[in-house]
Every structure is written in structure tokens, then in C-alpha cells.
């Protein structure tokens, strides 16, 4: 199997299992939107504001729990697949385990724990972003309502309907944002979650490949090449690096829709000049 096929296969599988999580996020977004619109149409007195934020907090808590479960199942699975992926390449190489007294069982556990921990934090931040964004939205809506009341001197009826319309527009324009990236782009939870879940799983796979390589004393890896539209990985294709000295910057494989994989190079003892 070519490395492009491996990348495709891992990415395809990652997308498939990510979809379960993304569907939960999509449902949650729809429910939050429904609750916000409803709260606005009821009128945004303090009681209603607290009530709607409370029910959004419940949705957010549930999402945190489901995301945790998802991470705990999928990350170890993708890591293990990474460990297995190139096993044929290591046939005939005696693993360090046992002879060097290195406990790779323990190392695997630690790496998986770290990967899961990082994923919890990243997803957690995005989910909390939904809470912050919803609170900000409600506060904006309340100010709009207040302004409208002052201008028109009325509280009920047409005033609330106008606000609903205006807020609906603000909501549609901006949506509920989970994450703002460095370029200032706003991501919804479902879109960001889709990117994050795939990246998380591809990353788990790659870490499995690296650790299994280290178990066999293989420290040189090549970044796979395949025809694709130019992206951040393009300058790295075919590059060989030593995992013991490589920094995070040597490994660009963490962008959306990345199909690049690491190929262990047991045949190398140094980086070819």
C-alpha cells in the first residue's frame, strides 16, 4: 500500500468517526439557537436571561461529557493503528523493549494520556467558547431591547418582534462562535470540532508510528509525498528528519484536511545530505 493510501485511509476513518461527534455538535447548535430565539421572543428580563443561559450551560455540560467519551475511545484506537501501520517494516529488527530495559507499555500509556489530555483541553476550550459566545449574544440582545424600549417607549408587542428580527440577523451574521483563530476567523463548534477531531486522530496515529519506530530503534522518518494543492505541508514533502532532534516546527502535519503521514526509515542511520 502506498503512503498516500495510508494517509487517505487514516483520514477517511478519522472523518467517519469524527462525524458522530460533529452530529452532536450540530444538534447542540440548533438547540441553542432555538432556545436563544425563544428567550428573545419571551422578552429578556433578568429571569429569562438566567434561565436560557442555564439551559445552554446544561447542553454545554452534556457536550463536554460526550466529547470526553469520544476522545477516550477514538484516540487510543488511532494511536494503536499507528503503532501497527508499518509493523512489516520492522520485521527482523529486535525491539529495544526487554534488552534496553525500556518499558514501551508504559511509554505508550503515557503518550496516549498526553494526547487525550491535550484533546480534552482543546475541545473543552471550544465548548466553553460556545458558553461565552451565548452569554455575549444574550447581553447584546438585552441592550438592543433596552434601546428599543427607550426609543419607542413601549415594552411589549411590536417592540419584541422587531428585536427578534434584528437579533436573528445578528445571530445569522455571526452565529455562536466556539473559537476565533489567529487570523480572526470565527468558527462554529461543529466546523471547528470537525477540524479538531480529524487533526486529533491523525496526530494520534502519527504519534503511534513514531513511538513504535522508537521501540525498534528507528529514529528517522520521511514526510510522505502525494499530488495535492499546495498547502503548508508542500515544502516538507520528502523531507527526512531525526525524531530525537526534530522540533514541533519540523512536523507541519497538523492542518485541516492533511493527508500526509510519517514513513519510518529503518534503512537510514543519518539524514542524507
Binding site for Zn ion (CB under 5 A): 233, 258, 260
Does residue 128 contact residue 39 with C-beta atoms inside 8 Å?
no
DSSP 113-137: HHHHHHHHHHHHHHHHHHHHHHHHH
Q: Which is nearer to Zn ion, 233 or 263 (CB)?
A: 233
Q: Which is nearer to Zn ion, 97 or 237 (CB)?
A: 237
Q: Closest distance between Zn ion and the C-beta of residue 260, in Å?
A: 4
CB of 231 to Zn ion, least distance (A): 6
User: Between residues 243 and 259, which has the closer beta carbon with respect to Zn ion?
Assistant: 259
What is the signed CA dihedral for 203, 87, 250, 205, rounded to 10 degrees? 0
**Residue in the shown chain whose Cβ atom is closest to Zn ion:** 233
- Detail the DSSP E strand segments found in the chain: 179-180, 186-187, 220-223, 240-242, 262-264
Please state, in angstroms and rounded to a whole number, the distance separating the CA atoms of residues 224 and 271: 16
- Decide whether 75 or 233 has the Cβ nearer to Zn ion: 233
Of 215, 191, 224, nearest to 10 by C-alpha is: 224
Cα dihedral sign, 255-259-260-265? positive
> Could you tell me the smallest distance in angstroms from the CB atom of residue 230 to Zn ion?
10
Cross-strand bridge partners of residue 222: 240, 263
Phi, psi of 256, deg, nearest 5? -55, 140
Q: CB of residue 27 vs Zn ion: minimum separation in angstroms? A: 30
Nearer to Zn ion, 32 or 233 (CB): 233
Instruction: Please state the closest distance from residue 92 (CB atom) to Zn ion, in A.
Output: 31
Question: Shortest distance, CB of residue 252 to Zn ion, whole angstroms?
Answer: 7
Least separation in angstroms between residue 229's CB and Zn ion is 10
**Closest to Zn ion by CB, 189 or 259:** 259
Provide CB contacts within 8 A for 122, sequence distance 6+: 196, 200
Asked if 238 and 254 touch (Cβ cutoff 8 Å), the reply is no
Q: Residue 130 or residue 258: which is nearer to Zn ion going by CB?
A: 258
Amino acid at each position: 500500500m502506498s503512503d498516500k493510501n495510508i494517509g487517505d485511509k487514516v483520514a477517511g476513518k478519522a472523518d467517519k468517526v469524527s462525524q458522530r461527534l460533529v452530529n452532536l455538535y450540530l444538534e447542540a447548535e440548533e438547540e441553542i439557537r432555538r432556545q436563544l430565539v425563544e428567550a428573545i421572543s419571551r422578552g429578556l428580563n433578568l429571569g429569562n436571561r438566567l434561565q436560557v443561559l442555564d439551559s445552554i450551560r446544561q447542553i454545554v455540560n452534556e457536550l463536554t461529557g460526550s466529547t470526553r467519551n469520544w476522545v477516550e475511545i477514538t484516540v487510543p484506537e488511532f494511536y494503536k493503528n499507528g503503532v501497527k501501520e508499518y509493523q512489516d517494516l520492522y520485521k527482523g529488527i529486535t525491539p529495544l523493549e526487554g534488552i534496553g530495559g525500556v518499558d514501551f507499555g508504559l511509554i505508550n500509556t503515557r503518550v496516549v494520556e498526553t494526547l487525550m489530555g491535550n484533546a480534552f483541553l482543546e475541545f473543552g476550550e471550544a465548548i466553553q467558547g460556545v458558553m461565552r459566545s451565548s452569554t455575549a449574544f444574550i447581553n447584546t440582545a438585552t441592550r438592543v431591547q433596552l434601546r428599543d424600549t427607550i426609543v419607542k417607549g413601549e415594552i411589549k408587542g411590536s417592540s419584541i418582534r422587531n428585536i427578534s428580527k434584528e437579533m436573528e440577523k445578528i445571530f445569522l451574521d455571526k452565529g455562536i462562535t466556539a473559537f476565533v483563530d489567529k487570523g480572526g476567523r470565527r468558527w462554529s463548534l461543529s466546523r471547528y470540532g470537525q477540524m479538531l477531531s480529524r487533526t486529533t486522530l491523525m496526530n494520534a496515529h502519527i504519534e503511534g508510528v513514531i513511538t513504535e519506530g522508537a521501540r525498534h530503534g528507528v529514529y528517522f522518518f520521511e514526510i510522505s509525498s502525494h499530488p495535492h494543492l499546495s498547502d503548508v505541508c508542500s515544502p516538507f514533502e520528502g523531507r527526512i528528519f531525526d525524531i530525537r532532534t526534530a522540533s514541533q516546527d519540523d512536523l507541519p502535519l497538523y492542518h485541516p484536511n492533511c493527508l500526509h503521514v510519517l514513513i519510518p526509515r529503518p534503512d537510514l542511520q543519518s539524514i542524507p545530505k
